[in-house]
Amino acid sequence: MACICSGSLGGDTLEKTSKHPCYSAEAHHKYARMHLPVAPRCNIQCNYCNRKFDCVNESRPGVTSEVLTPGLACDKFVWVKEKIANLSVVGIAGPGDALADWHLTRQTIAGIKAINEDITFCLSTNGLLLPAYAPEIVALGVRHVTVTVNALDPVISARIYAFITYQGKTYTGTEGAELLLANQLAGIANLVAQGVLVKINIVMIKDLNDTHIPAVVKKMKEMGVFVTNIMPLIPAPGSAFQHLPQTSTKEVNALRDVCQLDIQQMRHCQQCRADAVGLLHEDRSQEFRMGNRSQDSTTVPSNEARKSYRIAVTSKYGKLVDQHFGHATRFFIYQGDGQAFQLRETRAAAQYCAGLAECDTTGLDSRREQLIDSLQDCDAVLTMRIGYHAKEKLQNSGVYISEYCDTVETGLRYTVSQLEALPLKQASGFK
Ligand code: CLF
Ligand code: SF4
């Protein structure tokens, strides 16, 4: 498959697609991807899946991945990016469904974006929750999404999916199949309309959906997807389909040849793991398991070598950056280097803004002066919002202001990335 250089693609998406090893056959020899296994749960049951293993829609059975928190996933990204310069894509492909625990997937993407805004993000999903999350996916800047669509016919689907759990209710048979398909189609249409390049994975199951797949591909083409990826069934031990025959490469290729007449076919898929790292044909996931990280003496910079920053955070409960600077009656003081942070103290403060009656913007009274003074040992203030005069005072005294709205953890990383870019900004007068 060659990368389509369609005039309809935006310049940035076109550039990113040309470096995406799954979306561009040329790129797969040159550019690496990494999967971050932050999404362990699933909301459907495919009969070819044994949940002891990774999601079979995007990976082969027989291998399980470590599951990472969003924070550890960011650490792993920094580690891998240091070692693999041609890493171009970060994908979330399980080990369950990337949308079943959307907050984990979202937090991971936001955290990595704060560290490196040039990386391309990619998601793989069964599509059940796409209508709910497509707008957020697009808003996060994700432009490559894979959806597994195995059938359009609910009678065929009902034989592939044991059940669908949606909004607290479980559906089986054709009722579940119809619900899944309706959400997949609505989600795909939404993504395509917003310029996302959708790849469709289809698991080819002999005597079940194999003769139906050309109809699936035609429908997907009609909907404007970018490419289809017909994958062989590899029967997972312990799954309902464990005794079905494996689909051969010859059979898959013959079907791809038929479907190629409608839309380009991906032919270099490796059905990789949910923690895969490296070039598609050269998986380095074992080398980059987090348990091996401390033994990797070549990882630089070390904690000693990295500059450590002190950052004051405004937060209602210490989890989210969700408080206005002027309303804070305490600051959470963190110390860290962009990879790891420690809460050093919770520092009490007189509230900067005591309401409209006192809102004299022409000068600072002694209480406000004291508050500004009490933050002089900090490199930055991380806050949801801050008024003009407080911001000016702090910046003029050399304290960087980072306005952000997400978790404290990702906000701290974002702030360090901003601080480390400061020499470039000094000319414009920041610090
Ligand atoms: Fe990963 Fe999938 Fe993105 Fe690629 S894999 S989420 S599109 S970055 Fe690629 Fe691996 Fe095949 Fe997937 S080779 S299993 S198609
Ligand atoms: Fe398993 Fe993936 Fe299907 Fe969920 S979507 S049941 S993880 S194969």
Tell me which of 97, 147, 234, 273 to substitute to probe ligand 2's pocket, judged by most ligand atoms within 8 Å of the beta carbon. 97
How remote is the CA of residue 44 from the centroid of ligand 2, in Å?
A: 6
Tens digit of pLDDT per residue, the chain (431 long)? 333 334 455 677 888 898 899 998 888 889 999 999 999 899 999 999 987 777 777 776 656 677 888 989 999 999 999 999 999 999 999 889 999 989 999 999 999 999 998 999 999 999 999 999 999 999 999 999 999 999 999 999 999 999 999 999 999 999 999 999 999 999 999 999 999 999 999 999 999 999 999 999 999 999 999 999 999 998 888 899 999 999 999 999 999 999 999 999 999 998 888 889 999 888 888 788 877 776 665 544 433 456 889 999 999 878 788 899 999 999 999 998 877 788 888 899 888 887 655 554 444 577 888 899 899 999 999 998 898 889 988 988 889 999 887 778 878 887 887 787 665 434 333 33
What is the predicted pLDDT for the residue at 250? Answer: 94
231 lines ligand 1 (CB under 6 A): no
What is the predicted pLDDT for the residue at 92? Answer: 95
Contacts of 69-72 with C-beta under 8 Å, sequence gap 24+, read: 69/38, 69/104, 70/38, 70/104, 70/107, 70/108, 70/111, 70/407, 70/409, 70/410, 71/111, 71/409, 72/290
- Residue 92 Cα: closest atom of ligand 1: 6
What's at 383, amino acid-wise?
Answer: T
Beta-bridge mates of residue 231: 203
How remote is the CA of residue 97 from the centroid of ligand 1, in Å?
A: 14
Burial 202-224 (b: 16+ CB within 10 A, else e): bbbbeebbbebbeebbebbbebe
H/E stretch holding 341 reads strand 341-348
Strand segments (E) across 259-339: 277-279, 282-283, 309-313, 330-336
Phi and psi for 58 in degrees, rounded to 5?
Answer: -130, 5
Give the Cα separation of 131 and 137 in Å (integer).
Answer: 10
Tell me which of 41, 43, 44, 202 to substitute to probe ligand 2's pocket, judged by most ligand atoms within 8 Å of the beta carbon. 44
What domains are defined for the chain?
6-278 (3.20.20.70), 302-427 (3.30.420.130)
What is the pTM for the complete model shown? Answer: 0.69
Contacts of 426 (CB under 8 A, 6+ apart): none
How remote is the CA of residue 115 from the centroid of ligand 2, in Å?
A: 30
Q: Which ligand is nearest to the CA of 283?
A: 1
Cα 426 to the chain's mean position, in Å? 32
What is the predicted pLDDT for the residue at 9? Answer: 56
Exposure of 83 in the CB half-sphere (CA atoms within 13 A)? 20
How remote is the CA of residue 38 from the centroid of ligand 2, in Å?
A: 15
How remote is the CA of residue 177 from the centroid of ligand 1, in Å?
A: 25
- The span from the first CA to the last CA of the chain, in angstroms, equals 50
The token pair at 225 is: 């997807």
Sheet containing strand 44-46, strands side by side: 44-46, 161-166, 169-171
Q: To 10 degrees, the CA torsion angle through 386, 391, 395, 400?
A: 0
What is the predicted pLDDT for the residue at 305? Answer: 52
